[in-house]
Chain A
Amino acid sequence: MDERLSFEEALGRLENIVQRLEAGGLTLEEAIALFEEGMGLAKICNERLDAAELKISQLQSALEQKLESEGEALDKS
């Protein structure tokens, strides 16, 4: 199973699999394969939630950018 699947994609696929299984009309082999894939996806979803840590980054403000470019201009002169 693709480890790079995003949480949203994994959850979406999981929901799709549940629907297909509930709709029925599958061979036993298909049903078992879907079940296993679905359980794997549920595991991925939970792992993603458990492992995630909020990432924070900060952009430069317009003022900082301006000061910096003025500084560069001063450096050059």
Chain B
Amino acid sequence: MRIYSVAEVTRYLRELLEADSMLADLWISGEVSNLSESAAGHLYFTLKDEASQLRCVLFHRARLALTLESGTAVVAHGRISIYEVSGTLQFYVDLVQPEGVGMLHLEFERLKAKLADEGLFEPARKRPLPPFPERIGVVTSPTGAVFHDIANIVGRRYPLVELVLSPTPVQGDSAAEGIIQALDTLNNIEGIDLVILARGGGSLEELWAFNEEKVARAIYASRVPVISGVGHDTDFTIADFVADVRAPTPSAAAELAVPHRAELEGRIQSHRKALAAALSGDLDRHRQRIDELTRSASMHLRNFMIISREKLGSRETELASLSPLATLGRGYALVQHSATGEVVSRIAQVERGDAIDIKVSDGQFVGRVTGSKKGLQAWMNGFPSKKR
């Protein structure tokens, strides 16, 4: 036979107790007595009823703003274990509420505080919803109006979507596990952009699955963003706090999940207008540029014409001064051979009897060569100014 040490037995008992899931997380009701406070601020007391007593400790860090009095009836949450040093069985309390508050409310507040403490509700953790989801998973009951309502709203607002119903019971004993499975299934499907977790209105008991810790953790672990739409807008569940977006009702969840086609059509229409306006603005700018270029071209052309005309005018004057007409006007004549039209500038070009045309300033007359004499002296004698 083996003989154990006290430490071995107390450790064994402690391990045995701590391995029990019921003892790790339980609510106990009773009356507070033997209340004392340690220097460190921990509260020690006994919970008792008609038949029994239980040692309790409430550590300083778990006390919050609690005031406890001997003789009051309370409901306490915590775990059972053995304090090995003294070998006493103890209830390690982490939450105390006055008796009379509904159990579910107590559990709700406890879990809410715990998960908030762990950061499951952190706003920074909330993921944005995809603006244009293509596949939306819906975790809800396959019977009942909720899925039907969601399908109606999504179909009306934004029918470019596939709804994938992942069915589960949403109340009763199998609801929590079912919801976790349904979420998990959707998370393992390719292309799901978003999950709506929904249930119609009901009592706190009926909605309870949405307040269970494992459901909260499943929502937290979801790969895709989750919109919760549970009950009516006055119902808040733990699932609502963990979800990326909380919708007050299943219908509201459907509305938050997709854009509205009327709004999209408005946007497309305004884009069309903007396109047309931008293009016509562009066209106007180009037209204006063409205008400017045309104006400047025609101005240049006009300037060129004016300058050209001026040039032409002075050339005409020059030309006039060079014209033989002016010379003829001064009494000179142009002599041409009548037969050939050749201008006669030397006597060798004509012979006696040749017909010649003599052009003067106002016409011409015809003559005939009757003789010629070589040498400049010969014609100087006959110059008109020498005539007497």
Contacts and interface: CB of A to CB of B under 8 A. Distances in A.
Contact of B275 (A17, A46, A48): A17
B168 interface: yes
A61 B167 contact: yes
B279 interface: yes
A53 interface: yes
Contacts of A74: none
B73 to A, nearest CB: 42
A28 B283 contact: yes
Given A56-B165, A63-B178, A18 B278 contact: yes
Contacts of B301: none
Given A28-B286, A62-B182, A57 B268 contact: no
B271 A42 contact: yes
Interface string A13-36: 011011001101010100110010
B168 A55 contact: no
Contacts of A54: 151, 154-155, 159, 161-163
Contacts, number: 111
B162 A57 contact: yes
A62 B178 contact: yes
A15 B154 CA distance: 24
B282 A24 contact: yes
A61 B178 contact: yes
B161 A55 contact: yes
B162 A59 contact: no
B304 interface: no
Residue from A42, A53, A54, A57 whose CB has the most chain B CB atoms within 10 Å: A54
B142 A21 contact: no
A55 B160 CA distance: 8
Interface stretch (B84-92, B104-112, B259-267, B360-368): B259-267
A62 B268 contact: no
Nearest to A21: B278
Interface string B232-264: 000000000000000000000000000001001
B62 interface: no
A7 B132 contact: yes
B162 A56 contact: yes
A46 B162 CA distance: 19
A55 B275 CA distance: 33
Nearest to B261: A49
Contacts of B174: 63
A33 B218 CA distance: 51
B275 A62 contact: no
Interface string B55-67: 0000000000000
B160 A42 contact: no
B282 A26 contact: yes
A52 interface: yes
A62 B132 contact: no
A22 to B, nearest CB: 5
B134 interface: yes
Contact of B164 (A8, A38, A57): A57
22 contacts: A18-B278, A22-B274, A24-B278, A24-B281, A26-B282, A28-B286, A32-B279, A35-B276, A38-B271, A38-B272, A38-B275, A42-B271, A46-B265, A54-B162, A56-B151, A56-B163, A57-B164, A59-B167, A61-B142, A61-B178, A62-B177, A62-B182
Given A7-B132, A54-B159, A62-B168, 20 more contacts: A21-B274, A24-B285, A26-B282, A28-B283, A31-B283, A32-B279, A39-B272, A42-B275, A46-B265, A49-B261, A52-B161, A54-B163, A55-B162, A55-B163, A56-B163, A57-B165, A58-B164, A61-B167, A61-B181, A62-B185
Interface of B: 131-132, 134, 142, 151, 154-155, 159-168, 174, 177-178, 181-182, 185-186, 189, 261, 264-265, 267-268, 271-272, 274-276, 278-279, 281-283, 285-286
Interface of A: 6-8, 11, 14-15, 17-18, 21-22, 24, 26, 28, 31-32, 35, 38-39, 42, 45-46, 48-49, 52-59, 61-63
